[in-house]
Amino acid sequence: MNKGSRIYVAGHQGMVGSALLRCLASRGYRDVITRSRQQLDLLDQRAVTEFFARENIDVVLLAAAKVGGIHANSSQPASFLYENLVIETNVIHAAFAHGTPELVFFGSSCIYPKYCPQPIREDYLLTSGFEQTNEAYAIAKIAGLKLCEAYSRQHGMRYISVMPTNLYGPNDNYDLQNGHVLAALIRKTHEAKLNEMDSLSVWGSGSPRREFLHVDDLASAVLALLDSAHAEGVFNIGYGRDIAIADLARLICDVVGFSGSLKFDLSKPDGTPRKLLDVSKLVALGWSPTITLRDGIAATYADFTANVQRNGYANA
């Protein structure tokens, strides 16, 4: 990839896509292509095919997907399976058919088996059963990953798949039902502080351990892969350390300035007991994260409060 490459960022308005745009701009890439959902519906095969036929794209960063937290995944399995399958097959095939030599497909650490050995290596994929709350999403993402492998093996394309850990940062989804755990906790803690509450309710037991990576670190890792002549196949992208949800909640309370107690809602699911990625394959290429969890949470909370000021609390 060079500074004149035509780079299509699919899903540029989301958390991952917007981070990719920031990273590309900061490094001097001049020809970055974006389309909103209104301009290009990735569920429409004909529209996607015509788009690739027109644009002469060199690199695709496929960050567009239907995503959500435990509640969204478990309550909308058909939507998560169908929409993600259609988006990825439309884009990956159109990229191949119109000669795009490089593509990065975004999977997720949640598609690994529920009871993986820790830390999770790339070759643990499909070695045992899924976490049931996100089975539909996992199946769709595995199909996309395998599609990239197939086009690379059969046609010599360089279609890489990345498996990010839990992400957070600017443009996260702070919805209390459909958002991810860190963003939802930021909003709940902020709300508890504003309302001068005595306690904060946290889903589950607080014992599961999760790894969190700032989305700007993810973007830098993706560019590091594209800059490496040796990068092919599947790569985990993570921070390299995990934290118990209870300790994460305490850290967020400290950053937000909420001094109440934590109450753990055992009626809510914990999900996978632990998820920590083995990132040695990526680190061997010379990449490492630069944003600490505390600093990243502080910056994300600042983004959240700025969003509240711009759009009102209901839209944060």
H/E element, 274: strand 274-275
User: What is the C-alpha to C-alpha distance for residues 120 and 166, in angstroms, rounded to an integer?
Assistant: 14
Is residue 295 classed as helix, strand or coil in its secondary structure?
Answer: helix
- What residues form the annotated binding site for NADP(+)? 11-17, 141, 164-167, 180
Tell whether omega for the bond before 119 is within 30 degrees of 0, i.e. cis: yes
Q: Per the structure block, which two tokens stand in for 125?
A: 């994929």
Q: Per the structure block, which two tokens stand in for 73?
A: 């995944």
Exposed / middle / buried, residue 164 (Cβ in 10 Å: 0-12, 13-18, 19+): buried
- Residues 137, 151, 159, 168: which is the catalytic one? 137
User: What is the C-alpha to C-alpha distance for residues 130 and 112, in angstroms, rounded to an integer?
Assistant: 7
Q: Per the structure block, which two tokens stand in for 186?
A: 């930021």
Q: Is 137 among the catalytic positions?
A: yes
- What residues form the annotated binding site? 11-17, 141, 164-167, 180, 188, 203, 210, 270
190 Cα distance to chain centroid = 23
- What residues form the annotated binding site for substrate? 188, 203, 210, 270
Query: Got the DSSP string for 37-56?
Result: TTT--TT-HHHHHHHHHHH-
- Write the single-letter amino acid at 219: A
In angstroms, the first-to-last Cα distance of the chain is: 36
The residues assigned a catalytic role are 137
